[in-house]
Amino acid sequence: MAGLVVVVVLARARQVERSVPALCEQLALAQDLDQSLTTLDPSTLGPQVAALRRAARVAPTEIRDAVATVADYVAEIADEVDSTTDDRRQVLADALAARQEAVDVVAAAGADVDRWAQQNCGLTLSGPSASARTDGGATGPAGDDRTSGAPTDGAGTGGSGGFGGG
């Protein structure tokens, strides 16, 4: 009987809470991911990709597919770049070129995530001041103030203005 209780408790602990606040928190942590892909800074890229992966797990149903599309695409590219000992910029360029056929789908998904994040979290995930809210303020996880406002170029996918590159 005690073993069954432990199994039930562990199973519930592993259940993912899909909610707007949970997704907003993860998107805020991944907010400057496009800049990290551009600079290939492993100290920021790894945590932001991890936040994007978590975002896909906690996304509410209405935006889940778009977040998963962007997360899968970015994670594949980041994993490829992270696993190389060669020129990381060239590996990034090659990884993007190899996935060129997916760019339109990812860009559309990224634009959907951008719009959703603006409407539901007050986050601007791309553009010249990605960390700034549309109302002129700045926000981060759970409404914490952020002011990084770094320029971005569309998640390094060669596009501009979209969380997933567009």
Q: Quote the mean pLDDT of the chain.
A: 77
* Tokens linked to 15: 């259940």
Give the model confidence (pLDDT) of 70-84 as tens digits. 999 999 999 999 998
Instruction: Report the pLDDT averaged over residues 131-136.
Output: 38
**Count of CB atoms situated within 10 Å of the CB of 101:** 7
Please state, in angstroms and as integers, the Cα–Cα distance from residue 15 to each residue in 11, 29, 73, 115, following that order: 7, 21, 24, 27
Instruction: Report the pLDDT averaged over residues 1-24.
Output: 68
Whether this prediction's pTM lies above 0.85 is answered by no
In the chain, domain spans: 15-143
Place of tokens 């980041």: 78
Answer yes or no: is pLDDT of 62 > 90: yes
Binned at pLDDT 50, 70 and 90, residue 42 comes out as confident
Q: Which of 117, 124, 121, 166 lies closest to 149 in space, CA to CA?
A: 124
Instruction: Report the pLDDT averaged over residues 122-146.
Output: 49
